[in-house]
């Protein structure tokens, strides 16, 4: 009787996990297996009856595909460029908003507007702002005398990528700010008082007290932000569609094109497996960070 | 913890505080500009939007809103969106908190493996698995139903919610639990009576997150839904996008209407929101 | 306490299953033909609803239930529906995806329906090339719903202000006029090229076909090779790039700009000329721009002389899916859509040339100056369908765009760009014949 009780006790955690696991397995498992399965086949919606096992050919094709190399480069720039800038700006904003300013609650509330608006909507708005002939940004820069002819920001590979990153940073850094604010507000004030008594300057207490205490938060939000950015397709799809050429193509947009434009089943499957592997790596880093800080 | 650390404004000269304010105001304007722009554009005529996209409307055309409401059956779409959001957000938060509890506070075999599996769900872009997902929903006879939207949305929402909640639950001191155990409280009792009430900030943060995501989801309803009676707002707003032109004034009006519920939800939970997003990185 | 958890879970399951039966409920009526319309603007909806009313009055046993699906997401939606077997009975079919959808085998073959159809001789098909538009492997799988010529559309007021008296007749004149109309500081360009876009290649295919003696009217030679992968094609691509890079008469525009943005620039008077079908003038007319139309320019380009008149036909079709359970009723609806009286309503609503040639005799169209180039092209038999092959959509939306964008960026030479493009088409053809 006692051992039965013990078994029941050991099963408790699984009872708690059951609903979440059940629905995730139910919904996610099939698409993942389907993608893995088809990544070993040459199949296309265009030839419904044609399906040939090709082993690792789709993966080999990825190595040879020049666009995949561009995608790798762009995905890294897009993901880590965005995440680092978001970190920097989010932290700065948090430090400023953490001061006891009248009306800061209002400002804090307003800040998240950029994030509340659907990404697709924000991208459309930025399309208007960045537009060569109609855009406000060109109007302003020309009035300030910084440029003399209207510049098409999304028409050049370098400025296109920079513009995309700026839009993404604009969208997500307020969220980073909120996370940093949460972290800042839970640092015990006693620590600062002690530092003050020791004669530390504001900069010193920031450098040697605030920053080390924020480090874990930074790591976590950086990884999470990278995952969100790496996965998000709306901004790029609406603003550049991966162009000009393939200069802003990332894995997510490329896999999407391969599936819905090229109508292949195997190759996009292989690309998505690569993406999931890349993101799982990020997730593992995330878990290590969590573990390190907690245990 | 009530007394929070801050630089006192009195210690600074006026110029510094003025410049901080200026910086904040400029930044806020940049951040909320699109919403203002959209709201202003929704009061213009199509022609005015093209010819002077960034000016103040010459005449406020409130009628755009009535027209937009009527033409995209906004009332029906609103009802469906509320059903879908509520129907997915509540299970997301409840199931995630159930799952987060043992992960954060118990030791059992397969814990890390299960956590990784749960989190991987967060990694998969919906676009990439859309075709197999559609096949799956078809086999479950869920195409063209609200449930066909709700179930994938729950699966999509759980991982991130779990990440936030695991972090938060870990911050709650174990001693509280021990005291309750001595009082003869069961595991579920501890979860229900102690952990959940203490986690209100995290719960409301995840609630806002998920309301946002589910409210704005476009691709999933696009593929799953085709009857007007079960359309959600992002799909209904598409009514104003033609092949050759977009009826921007109506589109903006409908989008502005669509955002209002989110803004209200956000301001309701805002205070909790900030405290809830610690992601477990803090150990006090 | 564990009991409580179990009770809770059980009640959740009960609630979920109850709500699911509620949410799953789907109303069904006896014979309803479901129809996807990608024409979603208000006036287009009104026209379709009017036609549905007429149809339902004539056929009391049948109801038509339309779903409005805008073009952009329509493709993904159709593909997802095709893989899951949830297609409607009938739908408007975009020309770009015709080849792909046909290869997917989702169309109902219409041969037997057409055989006894009183309108079969009145429907517009390619006068010179009865085939690629609506045929697949020797069978009719779709019928044309709308017809339209690629033509030169220009802003009369801007022409007058620049002192240009008549629209350009040759490509030389075209560039000279465009230069006169260009003012980069104001963001105004003579030509709205839309060169970055997937659709930007249609006028380019026209200029190649005008000058290319090897071409069997468009993409392919009579032997099935790529018609533009030769020095003439390279020269024409050079001309296209030069208009942007050397003559600077057209804006660089955004990489995602499509027809919609081209129309936007034209209707906001940021460009003075564009190439489009008559239907494309809608937004400019609504914005109060005074519009003139003319056939495409001709004449020599870079010393290569013109060999034929040429224009493409925008290809919007209508078809029945073979998964339909009400094919007979769906055919009734499709054939009704193509009847003269329905075509008059439809084509005049969407500012297109009607697909039924009896309807084309209606004064609504005859007296419309915007349609004059279409009448000319049909009468003089130089209107050709856009080529269809499985994979055409991928080439058009992805690879042609990549080729054009890289050429305009100067990253690839015109020859490299054309070769890349042609090779992608060859790959598709090889795949299709496998």
Torsion angle in degrees (nearest 10) through CA of C413, C419, C425, C429: -170
State the pLDDT at residue C25: 46
Mutation target among A41, A120, A261 for the C interface, most CBs of C within 10 A: A261
Q: Are A133 and C272 in contact (CB under 8 A)?
A: no
Among B261-275, C23-37, C216-230, C389-403, the least confident range: C23-37
Query: In terms of pLDDT, which residue wins out, B6 or C300?
Result: C300
A123 in reach of chain C (CB within 8 A): no
Are residues C287 and C319 both part of a single domain? no
Name every residue whose Cβ is closer than 8 Å to that of residue C166 and which is 6 or more positions away in sequence.
none
> Is it true that the peptide bond before A244 is cis, omega within 30 degrees of 0?
yes
Neighbours of chain C (3+ CB pairs under 8 A): A, B
Domain count, chain C: 2
Phi-psi region of C221 (alpha: psi -120 to 50; beta: other; left: phi over 0): beta
Q: What is the pLDDT of residue B4?
A: 41
Q: What is the pLDDT of residue C3?
A: 58
CB contact under 8 A, C196 and A244: yes
Under the banding of pLDDT at 50, 70 and 90, the label for residue C127 is: very low
Contact call for B123 and A283, based on CB within 8 A = yes
Mean pLDDT for chain C? 84
Chain B residues with CB inside 8 Å of C80's CB? 130-131, 134, 223
In the three-class reduction of DSSP (H, G, I as helix; E, B as strand; rest coil), residue C140 is classed as strand
Interface test with A, best of B214, B279, B284 (most A CBs within 10 A): B279
Nearest-CA residue of chain B relative to C20? B147
Distance from the C409 Cα atom to the nearest Cα atom in chain A, whole angstroms: 8
Mean pLDDT confidence for B122-126: 75
* Angle in degrees, CA B130, B136, B142, rounded to 5: 100
**Smallest Cβ distance to A182: which of B6, B112, B278?**
B278
Contact A182 B27 (CB under 8 A): no
Percent of chain B with pLDDT over 70: 89
Shortest distance between the Cα of B87 and any Cα of chain C, in A, equals 10
- Examine the pLDDT at A2 and tell me if it is beyond 60: yes
Q: For C89-109, how does the pLDDT look when each residue is reduced to its tens digit (9 = 90+)? A: 999 988 778 888 888 889 999
Q: Which residues of chain A from 45 to 74 reach within 8 Å of chain B, CB to CB?
A: none
Q: Which of C255, C187, C263, C289 is nearest to A136 (CA)?
A: C187
The answer to whether C1 faces chain B, any CB pair under 8 Å, is yes
Residue C320 reports pLDDT greater than 90: yes
User: pLDDT averaged over chain A?
Assistant: 85
Is C11 within a domain?
no
Inter-chain touch B132–A184, beta carbons under 8 Å: no
Residue (of C41, C263, C235, C38) closest to C145 by Cα position: C38
Q: Which of A156-170, B6-20, C260-274, C275-289 has the lowest mean pLDDT?
A: B6-20
Residue B237: pLDDT band by 50, 70, 90 thresholds? confident
Search chain B and give the residue with CA nearest C3: B188
Q: What distance in Å separates the CA atoms of residue A41 and residue A51, rounded to the nearest whole number?
A: 6
> What is the predicted pLDDT for the residue at C4?
59
Q: How far is CA A235 from the centre of its chain?
A: 12
| C27 in a structural domain | no
Show which subunits contact A, needing at least 3 CB pairs below 8 angstroms. Answer: B, C
Instruction: Give the closest residue to C385 by CA, choosing from C148, C201, C104.
Output: C148
Please check whether residues C404 and C289 belong to one and the same domain.
yes
Partner-chain residue, chosen from A120, A179, A260, that has the shortest CB–CB distance to B277: A179
Query: What CATH number does domain B66-276 carry, 3.40.50.720, 3.10.180.10, 3.20.20.70, 1.10.3720.10?
Result: 1.10.3720.10
For residue B274, is pLDDT > 80? Answer: no
At residue C276, the 3 state secondary structure works out as strand
**Which long-range contacts does B176-180 make (Cβ < 8 Å, 24+ apart)?**
B177/B105
Residue C378: is its pLDDT beyond 60? yes
C360 and C308 within one domain: no
Residues in chain B: 284
Q: How far apart are CA A173 and CA A115, in angstroms?
A: 9
What are the residues facing C298 on neighbouring strands? C170
> What's the confidence (pLDDT) of residue C389?
82
Chain A partners within 8 Å of C251 (Cβ): 132-133, 152
pLDDT of residue C434: 67
Residue pLDDT, tens place only, C15-24: 555 554 445 5
Same domain, C264 and C410: yes
Same domain assignment for residues C164 and C293: yes
Centre a 10 Å sphere on the Cβ of residue B224 and count the other Cβ atoms it contains.
28
Please name the member of B71, B130, B244 whose beta carbon is closest to the beta carbon of C279. Answer: B244
Please give the residue of chain C at the shortest CA–CA distance from A265: C83
Report pLDDT for B186.
84
Q: In whole angstroms, what is the distance from residue C93 CA to residue C388 CA?
A: 13
Give the strand pairing for C271-276 and C189-191: parallel
Q: C187 and chain B: CB distance < 8 Å anywhere?
A: no
Q: Give the phi and the psi of residue C121 in degrees, each rounded to 5.
A: -85, -10
- State the residue range of the domain holding C415: 151-312+389-433
Q: How confident is the model at residue C286 (pLDDT cuts 50, 70, 90)?
A: confident
Is residue B283's pLDDT more than 80? no
Residue of C nearest to B129 (CA): C80
Q: Are B11 and B19 in contact (CB under 8 A)?
A: no
Residue A273 has pLDDT above 70, yes or no: yes
Interface of A with B in 272-291 (CB under 8 A): 272, 275-276, 279-280, 282-284, 286-287, 290
For every residue of chain A, which 3-state class applies, written as one string? CHHHHHHHHHHHHHHHHHHHHHHHHHHHHHHHHHHHHHCCEEEECCCCCCEEECCCHHHHHHHHCHHHHHHHHHHHHHHHHHHHHHHHHHHHHHHHHCCCCCCHHHHHHHHCHHHHCCHHHHHHHHHHHHCCCCCHHHHHHHHCCCCCCCCCHHHCHHHHHHHHHHHHHHHHHHHHHHHHHHHHHCCCHHHHHHHHHCCCCHHHHHHHHHHHHHHHHHHHHHHHHHHHHHHCCHHHHHHCCCCCCCCCCCHHHHHHHHHHCCCECHHHHHHHHHHHHHHHHHHHHHHHHHHHHHC
Residues C156 and C199 in one domain: yes
Q: How many CB pairs under 8 A join B and C?
A: 116
| Model confidence band, residue C11 (pLDDT cutoffs 50, 70, 90) | low
Segment C209-234 shows an average pLDDT of 82
> In sequence order, which ranges of B172-279 are alpha helices (DSSP H)?
174-182, 187-190, 196-198, 200-216, 219-224, 233-237, 248-276
pLDDT confidence of residue A67:
92
Q: How far is A233 from chain B (nearest CA, A)?
A: 8
Nearest CA in chain B to C277: B244
C373, C410: one domain: no
Distance CA A264, CA A262 (A): 5
CB contact under 8 A, C254 and A261: no
Q: How far is CA B225 from CA A69, C59, C68, in A?
A: 36, 28, 12
Residue A76: per-residue pLDDT: 93
Domain co-membership, C130 together with C229: no
d(CA C168, CA C114): 43
Q: So where are chain A's domains?
A: 1-27, 66-294
C201 and C267 both lie in a single domain: yes
Q: What is the separation, in whole angstroms, between the first and last Cα of chain C?
A: 65
C187, C391, C401: residue with CB nearest A243: C401
| B130–C68 CB contact, under 8 Å | no
SS3 state of residue C370: helix
Domain A66-294 CATH assignment equals 3.20.20.70: no
| Cα C52 → chain centroid | 24
A15 lies within 8 A of chain C by CB: yes
Burial class for A189, CB neighbours closer than 10 Å (0-12, 13-18, 19+)? middle
pLDDT number for residue B150: 94
Kindly state the average pLDDT of the residues C25-51: 80
Asked if residue C414 has pLDDT above 90, the reply is yes
Q: Which has more pLDDT, C151 or C201?
A: C151
Question: Do C183 and C224 fall within a single domain?
Answer: yes
- Contact at CB, A243 and C391, closer than 8 angstroms: no
Please count the residues of chain C. Answer: 434
**CATH classification of the domain holding C76:** 3.40.190.10
Classify each residue of A213-250 as buried b or exposed e, where b means 16 or more C-beta atoms within 10 Å of its C-beta: bbebbbbbbbbbbbbbbbbbbbbbbbbbbbbbbbbbbb
Residue-level pLDDT at C153? 94
pLDDT reading at A150 higher than 90 = no
Position C7 in a domain? no
The model's confidence at residue C10, banded by pLDDT at 50, 70 and 90, is low
Band (C192; pLDDT cuts 50, 70, 90): confident
Of C184, C252, C394, the CB nearest to A262: C394
- Average pLDDT in chain B: 82
Contact B31 A110 (CB under 8 A): yes
What's the gap in Å between the CA of B180 and the closest CA on chain C?
13
CA angle C314, C316, C320 (to 5 degrees): 155
Cα separation, B195 vs A232, whole angstroms:
33
Is the CB of C79 less than 8 angstroms away from the CB of A263? yes
Range with lowest mean pLDDT among A88-92, A121-125, A139-143: A121-125
Give residues 240 to 299 of C whose Cβ lies within 8 Å of B: 259-260, 263-264, 267-268, 279-280, 282-283, 286-288
CB contact under 8 A, A155 and C394: no
Among the residue ranges A185-194, B58-67, C24-33, C35-44, the one predicted with the least confidence is C24-33
**Residues of chain C whose C-beta is under 8 A from some C-beta in A?**
2, 5, 9, 12, 75-76, 79, 82-83, 100, 103-105, 184-185, 187-189, 196, 251-256, 264-265, 268, 270, 390-391, 393-394, 397-398, 401-402, 405-406, 408-409, 411, 431-432, 434
Determine how many CB atoms are found less than 10 A away from the CB of residue B183.
9
In 3D, which of A251, A112, A236 has the Cα closest to residue A168? Answer: A236
In angstroms, the Cα distances linking C55 to A2, C43, C59 are: 77, 18, 6
Instruction: Characterize A147-186 residue by residue with b for buried, 16 or more Cβ atoms within 10 angstroms of its Cβ, and e for exposed.
Output: eeebbbbbbbbeebbebbbbbbbbbbbbbbbbbbbbbbbb
What is the mean predicted confidence (pLDDT) over A252-266?
85
Strands lying side by side in the sheet with C291-294: C189-191, C271-276, C151-155, C291-294
Q: Stretch C394-405: mean pLDDT, rounded?
A: 88
SS3 percent helix, strand, coil of chain B, rounded to 5, is 75, 0, 25
By C-alpha distance, which of C183, C202, C257 is closest to C405? C257
pLDDT for C23 equals 53
Q: Which residues of B touch C85 (CB under 8 A)?
A: 138
* Model confidence at B47: pLDDT above 80: no
Q: How far out from the chain centre does Cα B11 lie?
A: 39
Once rounded to an integer, what is the mean pLDDT over residues C58-84? Answer: 85
| Contact between chains at B274 and A185 (C-beta distance less than 8 A) | yes
pLDDT at residue C407 tops 60 = yes
- Claim to verify: residue C139 and residue C269 sit in the same structural domain: no
List the single best residue of A17, A123, A245, A260 to mutate versus C (max C Cβ within 10 A): A245
Q: What is the count of residue pairs from A and B with beta carbons less than 8 Å apart?
A: 265
The answer to whether B100 touches A256, Cβ cutoff 8 Å, is no
For residue C107, give the 3-state DSSP assignment.
strand
Q: What CA–CA distances, in Å, run from A107 to A181, A182, B17, B26, B201?
A: 13, 15, 15, 11, 20
If asked whether residues C340 and C294 sit together in one domain, one would say no
Decide which of C122 and C314 is more confident. Answer: C122
Q: What phi, psi does A156 have (nearest 5°)?
A: -120, 135
C-alpha C75/C-alpha C69 separation (Å) is: 9
Say what percent of chain C tops pLDDT 90.
35
The predicted structure's pLDDT at residue C52: 95
* Dihedral sign, Cα of residue B11, residue B14, residue B18, residue B21: positive
Compare all CA atoms of chain C with the CA of B48 and give the residue at the minimum distance: C287
Could you give the percent of chain A with pLDDT greater than 70? 97
Residues C149 and A67: their CA atoms lie apart, in Å, by 36
Residue B75 has pLDDT above 60, yes or no: yes
Model pLDDT, residue B8: 44
Structure tokens at A277: 């592997």
User: Where are chain B's structural domains?
Assistant: 66-276
Domain assignment present for C17: no
- Burial class from Cβ neighbours inside 10 Å (0-12, 13-18, 19+) for residue A93 reads buried
């Amino acid at each position: 009787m006692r051992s039965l009780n013990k078994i029941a006790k050991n099963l408790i955690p699984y009872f708690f996990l059951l609903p979440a696991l059940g629905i995730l397995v139910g919904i996610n498992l099939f698409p993942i297996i389907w993608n893995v399965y088809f990544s070993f086949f040459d199949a296309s919606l265009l030839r419904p009856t044609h399906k040939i096992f090709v082993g690792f050919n789709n993966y080999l094709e990825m190595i040879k595909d020049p666009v995949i190399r561009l995608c790798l480069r762009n995905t890294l720039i897009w993901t880590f460029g965005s995440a680092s800038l978001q970190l920097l700006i989010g932290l700065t904003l948090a430090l400023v908003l953490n001061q006891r300013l009248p009306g800061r609650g209002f400002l804090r509330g307003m800040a998240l507007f950029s994030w509340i608006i659907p990404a697709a909507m924000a991208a459309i708005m930025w399309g208007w702002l960045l537009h060569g002939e109609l855009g406000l940004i060109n109007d302003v820069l020309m009035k300030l005398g910084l440029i003399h002819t209207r510049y098409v920001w999304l028409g050049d590979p370098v400025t296109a990528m920079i513009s995309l990153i700026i839009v993404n940073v604009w969208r997500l850094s307020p969220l980073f700010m909120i996370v940093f604010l949460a972290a800042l507000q839970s640092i015990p004030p006693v620590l600062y008082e002690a530092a003050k008594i020791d004669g530390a300057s504001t900069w010193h207490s920031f450098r040697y007290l605030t920053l080390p205490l924020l480090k874990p938060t930074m790591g976590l939000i950086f990884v999470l932000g990278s995952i969100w950015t790496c996965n998000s397709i709306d901004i790029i799809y609406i603003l550049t569609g991966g162009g000009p050429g393939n200069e802003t193509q990332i894995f997510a947009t490329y896999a999407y094109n391969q599936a819905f434009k090229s109508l292949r089943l195997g190759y996009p499957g292989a690309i998505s497996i690569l993406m999931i592997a890349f993101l799982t790596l990020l997730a593992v880093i995330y878990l290590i960070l969590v573990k390190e800080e907690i245990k | 913890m009530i007394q929070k650390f801050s630089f006192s404004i009195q210690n600074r000269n006026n110029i510094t505080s003025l410049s901080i304010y200026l910086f904040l105001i400029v930044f806020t304007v940049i951040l909320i500009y699109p919403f203002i722009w959209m709201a202003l554009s929704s009061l213009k005529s199509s022609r005015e939007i093209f010819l002077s996209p960034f000016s103040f409307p010459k005449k406020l055309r409130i009628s755009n809103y009535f027209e937009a409401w009527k033409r995209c059956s906004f009332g029906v779409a609103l009802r469906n969106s509320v059903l879908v959001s509520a129907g997915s957000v509540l299970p997301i938060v409840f199931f995630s908190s159930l799952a987060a509890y043992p992960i954060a506070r118990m030791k059992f075999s397969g814990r890390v493996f299960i956590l990784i599996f749960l989190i991987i769900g967060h990694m998969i872009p919906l676009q990439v698995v859309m075709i197999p997902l559609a096949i799956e929903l078809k086999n479950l006879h869920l195409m063209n139903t609200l449930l066909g939207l709700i179930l994938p949305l729950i699966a999509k929402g759980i991982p991130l919610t779990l990440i936030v909640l695991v972090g938060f639950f870990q911050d709650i001191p174990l001693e509280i639990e021990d005291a309750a155990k001595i009082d003869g409280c069961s595991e579920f009792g501890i979860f229900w009576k102690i952990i959940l009430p203490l986690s209100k900030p995290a719960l409301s943060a995840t609630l806002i997150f998920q309301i946002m995501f589910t409210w704005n989801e476009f691709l999933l309803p696009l593929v799953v839904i085709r009857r007007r009676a079960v359309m959600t707002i992002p799909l209904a707003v598409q009514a104003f996008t033609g092949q050759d032109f977009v009826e921007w004034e109506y589109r903006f009006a409908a989008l502005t209407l669509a955002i209002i519920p989110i803004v209200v939800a956000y301001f309701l939970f805002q205070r909790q929101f900030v405290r809830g997003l610690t992601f477990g990185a803090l150990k006090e | 306490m564990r009991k409580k958890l179990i009770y809770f879970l059980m009640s959740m399951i009960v609630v979920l299953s109850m709500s699911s039966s509620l949410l799953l409920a789907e109303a069904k009526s006896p014979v309803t033909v479901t129809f996807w319309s990608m024409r979603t603007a208000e006036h287009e909806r009104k026209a379709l609803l009017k036609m549905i009313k007429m149809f339902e009055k004539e056929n009391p046993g049948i109801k038509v239930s339309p779903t409005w699906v805008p073009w952009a997401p329509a493709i993904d939606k159709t593909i997802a529906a095709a893989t899951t077997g949830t297609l409607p009975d009938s739908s408007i079919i975009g020309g770009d995806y015709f080849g792909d959808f046909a290869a997917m085998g989702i169309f109902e073959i219409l041969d037997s329906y057409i055989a006894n159809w009183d309108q079969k001789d009145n429907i517009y098909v390619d006068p010179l090339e009865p085939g690629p538009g609506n045929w697949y492997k020797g069978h009719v799988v779709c019928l044309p719903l709308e017809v339209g010529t690629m033509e030169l559309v220009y802003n009369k007021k801007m022409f007058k202000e620049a002192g240009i008296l008549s629209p350009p007749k040759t490509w030389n004149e075209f560039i000279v006029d465009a230069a006169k109309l260009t003012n980069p500081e104001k963001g105004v360009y003579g030509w709205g090229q839309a060169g970055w876009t997937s659709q930007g290649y249609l006028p380019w295919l026209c200029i190649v076909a005008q000058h290319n003696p090897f071409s069997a009217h468009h993409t392919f030679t009579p032997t099935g090779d790529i018609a533009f992968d030769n020095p003439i094609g390279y020269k024409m691509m050079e001309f296209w790039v030069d208009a942007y890079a050397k003559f600077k008469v057209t804006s660089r525009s955004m990489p995602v700009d499509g027809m919609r943005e081209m129309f936007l620039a034209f209707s906001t008077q940021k460009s003075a000329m564009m190439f489009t079908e008559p239907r494309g003038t809608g937004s400019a007319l609504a914005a109060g721009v005074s519009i003139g139309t003319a056939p495409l320019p001709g004449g020599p380009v870079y010393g290569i002389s013109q060999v034929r008149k040429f224009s493409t036909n925008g290809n919007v079709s209508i078809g029945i899916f073979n998964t339909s359970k009400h094919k007979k009723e769906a055919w009734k609806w499709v054939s009704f859509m193509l009847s003269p009286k329905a075509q008059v309503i439809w084509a005049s609503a969407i500012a297109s040339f009607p697909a039924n040639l009896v309807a084309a005799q209606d004064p609504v169209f005859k007296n419309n100056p915007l349609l004059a180039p279409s009448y000319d092209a049909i009468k003089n038999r130089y209107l050709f369908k856009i080529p269809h092959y499985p994979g055409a959509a991928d080439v058009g939306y992805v690879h042609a765009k990549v080729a054009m964008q890289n050429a305009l960026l100067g990253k690839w030479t015109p020859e490299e760009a054309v070769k890349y493009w042609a090779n992608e088409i060859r790959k598709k053809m090889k795949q299709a014949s496998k």
